[in-house]
Amino acid sequence: MDSPAISIRNLTRRFGSFTAVDNITLDVAPGQFFGFLGPNGAGKSTTIKMLTGLLAPTSGHIEILGLDFATDPLDVKRQIGVVPEGLALFGRLTASEYLRFVGRMYGLDRDTTNSRTDELLDFMNLANEPKKLVTDFSHGMQKKLALAAAVIHGPRILFLDEPFEGVDAIAAGTLKAMLQRMTERGATIFLTSHVLEIVERLCSHVAIIHQGRLVANGSLDELRAGVAASELVRAGGSLTGPQPEEKLTLEELFLRIVGGAGAGTPDEALQELSWLA
Amino acid sequence: MAGVAPPSPQKSIHGGLFSPLARGQYAALVRVQTRMFVNSLRTKRGSFELGAHILVFLIFSLIACGPAFGLGFGAWVAVTHGRILGISVLLWVLFLAWQFFAALAPALGGQNPELSHLLRYPVSFGSWIVLYLVYGLAAPSTLIGIIWATAIGIGISIARPDLFLWTACTLALFIFFNLLLARMILAWIERWLAQRRTREIVTAIFLFLALAAQVFNPAYRQNPYSRPLSHVQSKTANRVASRFMEAQKVFPPGLVINSINLRAQHRPLQASEDFLWLGVYTFGAGALLALRLRSESRGENLSDAPRRSTTALRKVRRRPALDFSGPLFSGPIAAVFEKDLRYLMRSGPMLYNLAAPLVMVFLFGGMARGGQFSGVRSRYALPIGMVWAFFGLARLICNNLGMEGDGIQFYFLSPTPMRTVVLSKNALHFVLFLLEIALISAVVVFRFGLPSPSMATDTLAWLIFAVPANFAVGNLLSITMPYRINMTRIRRETGALGNGLTSLITQLGLVAVGALVLVPCALMGHSLLAAPVFLALAAISLFVYWRVLGNVNRMVQSRQESLTLEIMKTT
């Protein structure tokens, strides 16, 4: 493998006595479309915040494109684009003003910023309301704008925290096409999402974090093989569930790995909410 | 149908102002506020805020108590001398001070609570209004107004104990009227400032009133001390005064005292009539407030968003009107400068906060002329005016990241160092400061004539010392005690008081240093001696500013999480 685009070694983050991310070690190869999954509260957003400089790790080491985040944070930030959880938008600018602002903050010259702004607004279908302030955009429009801002400087790595949440099907299609083209041209995409169908369709590699620990990492086929092998061991050699050749979906894999059905079936849980209409 | 819950019994109790549902909601809000208060004390910042609240409460109580004695004594004297109607002057003072303070010091007032987060719950409109009024009761203007009205009531009641009950009722209604009026005025100003066109109209009215005050003041104060009024002038003045006294009877302060006077004359029916008219005024203020709040309770969004129009749908390629990039500014510095300037120009409340001290200078600049110490005041008008300029910008300088909201995260993601961002903000605030001091200097020259060369030199030297010192402290406070500024509402934000108080102490400290240097030099007759002292101090303050700026990256990095949390906080 080439030297990894993202290299994480023993990454840990604690909040008081609570360990949100526990000793994660992970490599993401250049050009990979990498899905980073986990149930709510597993530590996905904390990890992505540490990888993008929004949160300092308690311990561990992060290298992005061979640059040490601890010693070269600004050089790293020049190479990456981020759509964070809170979108990081300036609500009282128009979309065009915001993109021009972002471009210049990344050191682009005025002409490049202006032409890229126009192209991105057209591509994202945001050019129709030039006077509208970002704060008055719908959530989906804000997501598209945040993505446009994340790519305006042509990053080599893109970190996306739930990019498809609240985006309509047409816009999601546009975004997916753009992201796929970026990976084809060598960019690396690190994505977290709860929409597992999209992750399954887009990502070549997936890692799953659960209770702060990395519990799975590899291509989808590698994950399937891993789940099948562990179930084989647990069943004492005779599998009753789906066989490896049956190809589990990512959702099924995810539920088996993080034990989503461990707390009882949804029907059982709903019996306790009998008052609900 | 199986599985479907029966109709909720809550529907039958929904609605009334004091229905079980409403009472439950009030109780829940009290509980949640109490919990939030207790939880806030877990942090040092929260404890500091509580201390600041207590201190400000004590300061305003003291400010209120001095005039309260005067008002109470005045009321007592008026009643014992059989001139109850003369108390109307005191009530006018109370009325104007209350409304003026509430309108011009909204940042201290906490007048307009943000209640939009309650919209998702079944809160009736009546409850909405009650909450709106109750939330702002602790505003200093309300506190001062109530103390003053109580003092007047005590003065009247001591002189005529038989009037106690009627006075208490009438003054209570008057207090309620003032409370509603102040909230109503601010709610409508906030609405008008929210959109560009109405904002421009309000600004024009503001400027017109300020200029009118400038014209009115010299006309009113034409050497009143040096030239006694002639007999004819005196008669004219008396006639005007008596006409004014007659006319003011139909306004709330006049109605209050007229009602008490009629009750004192044992004419309860006529007294009740004036009381009822006061009630009509109160109802009117309440109705106008309700009209405004009705829109808010229906989810109105105070924003600059233009209506969707066919012209807006056309794709427009527009280059930004503001562009400061060039040899003077690097790309990121110009970008932040432009962005912040746009933010300010689009925020009515921010412009209002910037303009309010200027209006004060316009108004009080006129009033300060003449009188026993007019010479001293004229001499120090320029430095005093400069101090006001600092007050106008203190909120921005000492919380320079507060406007960013969710965008604060962007600075941590971008490759631009925070030092550059802060430097850019300092540059914008410096430009605004220059604009303010230019305007204030113009007012000072217009009102008091040209300052002496020595005073102008000393003031300039003091500014060279005070500006970097202010920015150094401002940068420190912006990083250590930040709070989110609401760009669409006029109100005191959570966490603002501690920051505001510290910034006020800084301003007062700088003024004290200025006075300690300037006054002795002036008394010795060597005013120009102050300038080199200020310049020596300026070298120190510039060094401190440079050191603080140099440490911004490190300080922000160590406080990144708390800074992000505070600036992104929505409630």
Minimal Cα–Cα distance from B416 to chain A, Å? Answer: 6
State how far the alpha carbon of A129 is from the alpha carbons of A122, A134, A169, A170, in Å. 11, 10, 21, 18
Side-chain-side CA neighbours of residue B86 (13 Å): 14
Predicted confidence at residue B299, as pLDDT, reads 66
- DSSP letters for B275-327: HHHHHHHHHHHHHHHHHHHHHHHTT-----PPPP-HHHHS------S----SS
The 3-state secondary structure of B473-535, one letter per residue = HHHHHHHHCCCCCCCCCCCCCCCHHHHHHHHHHHHHHHHHHHHHHHHHHHHCCCHHHHHHHHH
Cα nearest neighbour of B317 on chain A? A118
- A106-148 residue pLDDT tens: 888 888 999 999 999 999 889 888 888 888 888 888 999 999 9
pLDDT band, very low/low/confident/very high, at A253 (cuts 50, 70, 90): confident
Per the prediction, chain A carries an average pLDDT of 86
Predicted confidence at residue B468, as pLDDT, reads 95
Minimal Cα–Cα distance from A153 to chain B, Å? Answer: 11
**pLDDT-wise least confident of A176-190, B22-36, B277-291:** B22-36
pLDDT band, very low/low/confident/very high, at B149 (cuts 50, 70, 90): very high
**pLDDT-wise least confident of A138-147, B299-308, B505-514:** B299-308
- B158-214 residue pLDDT tens: 999 999 999 999 999 999 999 999 888 888 877 777 666 666 666 666 666 655 655
- Mean pLDDT computed over B372-376: 57
Of the candidates A100, A122, A133, the beta carbon closest to that of B303 is on: A133
Total beta-carbon pairs less than 8 A apart between chain A and chain B:
128
Instruction: List b or e across A87-99, with b for residues whose CB sees 16 or more CB atoms inside 10 angstroms.
Output: bbbbbbbbbbbbb
The answer to whether B297 touches B119, Cβ cutoff 8 Å, is yes
- Mean pLDDT computed over A29-49: 92
**pLDDT-wise least confident of A30-34, B196-200, B266-270, B562-566:** B196-200
Predicted confidence at residue A50, as pLDDT, reads 92
ipTM here: 0.81
User: Token pair for residue A219?
Assistant: 């291509």
Give the DSSP letter of residue B195. S
Nearest to A140 by CA among A87, A190, A100: A87
Asked if B413 and A89 come within 8 Å (Cβ–Cβ), the reply is no
**pLDDT-wise least confident of A264-268, B93-97, B142-146, B514-518:** A264-268
Nearest to A167 by CA among A188, A182, A197, A145: A145
Alpha carbons B81 and B58: distance in angstroms, whole number: 34
> Which is more confident, B445 or B79?
B79
- B56-72 residue pLDDT tens: 788 888 888 888 999 99
Helix, strand or coil, per DSSP, at residue A277: coil
Predicted confidence at residue B112, as pLDDT, reads 55
* B488 has a pLDDT exceeding 50: yes
Interface of B with A in 326-385 (CB under 8 A): 331-332, 334-336, 338-339, 342-343, 346-347
The pLDDT > 90 percentage for chain B reads 27
- Mean pLDDT computed over A187-216: 91
Q: Which amino acid is at B523?
A: L
Predicted confidence at residue A28, as pLDDT, reads 95
Asked if B331 and A109 come within 8 Å (Cβ–Cβ), the reply is yes
- Mean pLDDT computed over B131-140: 76
| B196 CB within 8 Å of a chain A CB | no
Predicted confidence at residue A33, as pLDDT, reads 94
Predicted confidence at residue B186, as pLDDT, reads 80
- Mean pLDDT computed over B72-90: 90
- Mean pLDDT computed over B281-286: 94
pLDDT band, very low/low/confident/very high, at B305 (cuts 50, 70, 90): very low
Asked if A105 and B5 come within 8 Å (Cβ–Cβ), the reply is no
> Which is more confident, B211 or A172?
A172
Q: Which amino acid is at A107?
A: G
**pLDDT-wise least confident of B126-140, B276-290, B362-376, B507-521:** B362-376
Predicted confidence at residue B307, as pLDDT, reads 46
**pLDDT-wise least confident of A36-45, A197-206, B546-555, B562-571:** B562-571
Per the prediction, chain B carries an average pLDDT of 79
Alpha carbons B412 and B404: distance in angstroms, whole number: 12
User: Token pair for residue A70?
Assistant: 């601890």
The answer to whether B317 touches A96, Cβ cutoff 8 Å, is no
Predicted confidence at residue B210, as pLDDT, reads 59
Instruction: List b or e across B497-525, with b for residues whose CB sees 16 or more CB atoms inside 10 angstroms.
Output: bbbbbbbeebbeebbebbeebbeebbeee
In a mutational test of the B interface, the residue from A13, A76, A92 whose CB has the highest number of chain B CBs within 10 Å is A92
Alpha carbons B169 and B173: distance in angstroms, whole number: 6
Helix, strand or coil, per DSSP, at residue A273: helix
Identify all chain A residues contacting B339, using CB atoms and an 8 Å cutoff.
Answer: 90, 93, 97, 101
If one counts every other C-beta atom within 10 angstroms of the C-beta of residue B34, the result is: 10
- Mean pLDDT computed over B42-66: 82
Helix, strand or coil, per DSSP, at residue B268: helix
